[in-house]
Chains A and B, each alone.
Chain A
Amino acid sequence: DAGITQSPRYKITETGRQVTLMCHQTWSHSYMFWYRQDLGHGLRLIYYSAAADITDKGEVPDGYVVSRSKTENFPLTLESATRSQTSVYFCASSETGYMEQFFGPGTRLTVL
């Protein structure tokens, strides 16, 4: 029972490169979320999805793209990485938008 997994766990990239962070959950949860966590800001929502093919912006969506063709996968793409996108990224899932969310292990991304 893997629950929710993220890959890669660590990534170093250069400014301007495209990066995709993967998220996979085995619970068949309808909702999936992407957060970034930075010192002094806490967890900030980037994008979320209520179901396959339904996505919506969160608090800090600029510079990010998401898709959700299958219920279990919710990839996050940085189209042209910038240093300000250096952060720890967490994926989470939930049965509904009002219930508890369960987090993946996170991806630590460094943009040089």
Chain B
Amino acid sequence: QKEVEQNSGPLSVPEGAIASLNCTYSDRGSQSFFWYRQYSGKSPELIMSIYSNGDKEDGRFTAQLNKASQYVSLLIRDSQPSDSATYLCAVNTGTASKLTFGTGTRLQVTL
């Protein structure tokens, strides 16, 4: 079992809809959770961080964390074509001072 799992997609949503991206992780000791956006040919860009159970909102983005279910998600409201990218989930696994990344979910926002 991979430490951090994401559906590779592509996830296709129409413009204006809500995109829901999901990530599961295996290490119950994980403390920090991050979502990165990566456009093709570019480097990962941090869009959300979450450290405690519940929801965290920032503009059109909401991160949701459920440590009991070992599940973290990212909701993008009012999806725009510019949101089309690969979204990487990253988890600080236990006591290690490093992040483990999922392989990413490709999001396509259609007109």
- Taking Cβ atoms with an 8 Å cutoff, the residues of A that contact B are 31, 33, 40-43, 45, 48, 50, 58, 90, 96-106
Contacts and interface: CB of A to CB of B under 8 A. Distances in A.
Given A98-B32, A100-B34, A45 B98 contact: yes
Interface in B26-46: 31-32, 34, 36, 42-46
Contacts of B34: 100-101
* Count class of interface residues, chain B: 20 to 34
A74 B103 CA distance: 25
Given A97-B92, A102-B46, A33 B98 contact: yes
A98 B31 contact: yes
A96 B99 CA distance: 11
Secondary structure at the B interface, as helix, strand, loop or mixed, is: strand
B103 A41 contact: yes
A82 B43 CA distance: 24
B4 to A, nearest CB: 9
B70 interface: no
Interface of B: 31-32, 34, 36, 42-46, 49, 88, 90, 92, 96-104
A31 B97 CA distance: 9
Contacts of A101: 34, 46, 90, 99
A101 B103 CA distance: 17
A96 B97 contact: yes
A45 B45 CA distance: 17
Most chain B CB within 10 A, of A33, A45, A98, A105, is at: A98
Given A42-B101, A98-B31, A106-B43, 6 more contacts: A42-B103, A42-B104, A43-B44, A90-B44, A104-B43, A105-B42
Nearest to B44: A103
A104 B99 CA distance: 16
B45 A50 contact: no
